[in-house]
Amino acid sequence: MGSLLTSSDLGIEDFMVEQDRSPGSRGHQGDVNLRRPRLTFAHESKSDLGRVWFKLEQESAGTQVLVSILPHLLHILEEGGLLAVDELNSLHPTLALAIVQLFQDHANNPRGAQLLFNTHESTLLGNLLSDPPPLRRDQVWLTEKDRDGATHLYPLTDFKPRPTENLQRGYLQGRYGAIPFIGSLDLARKNESDPT
């Protein structure tokens, strides 16, 4: 886990697991102290401070997400199975791409583990970050809400995109559906017409 954290350009140089003592409940055998592991991360400072340690809750939301999925990710890649990640777009696009590529690479994924995730990160559809694109067309499924608010799931292959088609551009242009219907966001005009 340490090498993945340091190679992810999060500024983390090292980490430590400490046992955090929290007062527990009083039982029939007296006071109980519960021990919970607490993660702290070392960042190298360019100033005279040297190494600075931060608790997990002091790290960015993206770092917290990565730290929460890393143990599961490593276990699944080693043992095989399925890892489901909600909102992979919580990570930087290049970091999300690196995770997808781990699962696509047989050397890193010899047991054929699968990654199931949802995201709004359209760069995973295109080849801006990776050529060829990280996902095959048959690996992409989309969701769209109907007029009643019900969500429908359908494969990208329903649209029969050409092999050379830029999927990211097509998605953002609404060619495959699955984009929100945004009304007028002109707040200045709304404020002018509102007498209150």
For 121-176, write each residue's pLDDT tens digit: 999 998 787 888 899 999 999 999 988 989 999 999 999 999 889 999 999 999 99
| Residue 160 forms part of a structural domain | no
Question: Please, are residues 19 and 36 in contact by the beta-carbon 8 Å criterion?
Answer: yes
- Flag whether the pTM goes above 0.85: no
80 lies in some domain: no
- CA–CA separation, 52 and 43 (whole Å): 5
* Position 72 pLDDT exceeds 70: yes
Q: Does a structural domain hold residue 65?
A: no
Rounded to 10 deg, the angle between the 61-79 and 93-104 helix axes is 0
Structure-token pair, residue 79: 């043992």
Tell me what pLDDT residue 68 has. 86
Q: Is residue 6 part of a domain?
A: yes
Answer yes or no: is 5 within a domain: yes
Q: Count structural domains, the chain.
A: 1
The CA-to-CA distance between both ends of the chain, in Å, stands at 56
**Residue whose token pair is 């809750």:** 57
What letter represents residue 196's amino acid?
T
150 domain-assigned = no
The H or E element containing residue 7 is helix 2-7
CA distances in angstroms from 165 to 160, 171, 192, listed in the order given: 10, 11, 44
Domain that holds residue 39: 1-59
23 has a pLDDT exceeding 60? no
| Placement of tokens 């953002």 in the chain | 172
So what's the pLDDT on residue 102? 93
